């Protein structure tokens, strides 16, 4: 048995080296499998966190490009805003793929006069790594210690301080009209499902009364 140990050790070392060398392709392949069926055509459940329809969108405690952000007016389009609450662009494959898909549809939202702004609990440094890798031009805010998500009523209370997931929101989208009123929400109870970007655009257009 002992004579086989060096060969086994060598095989393990080779396997470890290959896994390290190909860690990114392997991770991307795993993420692709996980997110294969994540998009749905609409909000079909009763899960409804966040500010009430008809209420004023509250202020935030976030940062963007080194600045403090309390209001989202600067990100608004002429017809309103789609506010995207996302868990993490560092470790959540569903959030990553959703953001990439939303980016692909950004021109369609802009053509409808709808601004887009996203927010996660990630540090700005972690966000920037994702932004640079995938060419994201949607503004991405960094929440401060869950304060924005608490104010919005979407902080995931499943996690406590000390958990690395503490501070994540229930992922979803909020539609805000030019007067700052919440006119639509898309939240799914299953964190692994997201409303397709084209469906989200159709929903936002209808909620904002955009007819062309």
Measured CA to CA, the distance from residue 39 to residue 199 in angstroms comes to: 10
What does the pLDDT look like over 125-162, one tens digit per residue? 999 999 999 999 999 999 988 999 999 999 999 999 88
pLDDT in tens, 161-203: 889 999 999 999 999 999 999 999 999 999 999 999 999 999 9
- Confidence at residue 32, expressed as pLDDT on a 0 to 100 scale: 80
The residue ranking higher by pLDDT, 6 or 33, is 33
Average pLDDT over residues 41-60: 97
Distance spanning both ends of the chain, measured CA to CA: 75
Report the pLDDT averaged over residues 33-46.
94
pTM of the model: 0.87
Q: What is the pLDDT of residue 18?
A: 46
Domain chopping of the chain, boundaries:
1-34, 37-208
Residues 182 and 51: beta-carbon distance below 8 Å: yes
151: Cβ contacts below 8 Å, ≥ 6 apart = 58, 59, 60, 61
Share of the chain above pLDDT 90, in %: 80
* Residues 197, 212: Cα–Cα separation, whole Å: 18
CATH superfamily of 37-208: Glutaredoxin (3.40.30.10)
For residue 93, pLDDT over 90 is answered with yes
């Amino acid at each position: 048995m002992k004579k086989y140990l060096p060969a086994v050790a060598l095989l393990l070392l080779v396997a470890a080296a290959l896994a390290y060398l190909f860690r990114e392709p392997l991770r991307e392949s795993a993420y692709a499998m996980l997110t294969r069926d994540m998009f749905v055509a609409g909000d079909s459940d009763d899960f409804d966190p966040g500010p009430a329809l008809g209420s004023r969108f509250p202020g935030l405690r976030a940062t963007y490009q080194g600045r403090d952000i309390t209001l989202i007016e600067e990100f608004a389009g002429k017809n309103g805003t789609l506010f995207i609450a996302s868990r993490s662009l560092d470790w959540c494959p569903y959030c990553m793929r959703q953001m990439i898909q939303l980016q692909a549809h950004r021109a369609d939202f802009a053509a409808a006069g709808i601004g887009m702004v996203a927010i996660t609990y990630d540090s700005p440094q972690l966000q920037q790594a994702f932004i640079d890798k995938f060419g994201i031009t949607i503004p991405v805010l960094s929440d401060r210690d869950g304060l924005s998500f608490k104010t919005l009523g979407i902080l995931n209370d499943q996690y406590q301080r000390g958990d690395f997931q503490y501070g994540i929101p229930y992922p979803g989208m909020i539609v805000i009209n030019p007067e700052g009123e919440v006119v639509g929400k898309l939240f799914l109870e299953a964190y692994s499902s997201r409303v397709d970007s084209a469906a989200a655009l159709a929903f936002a257009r209808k909620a904002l009364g955009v007819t062309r």
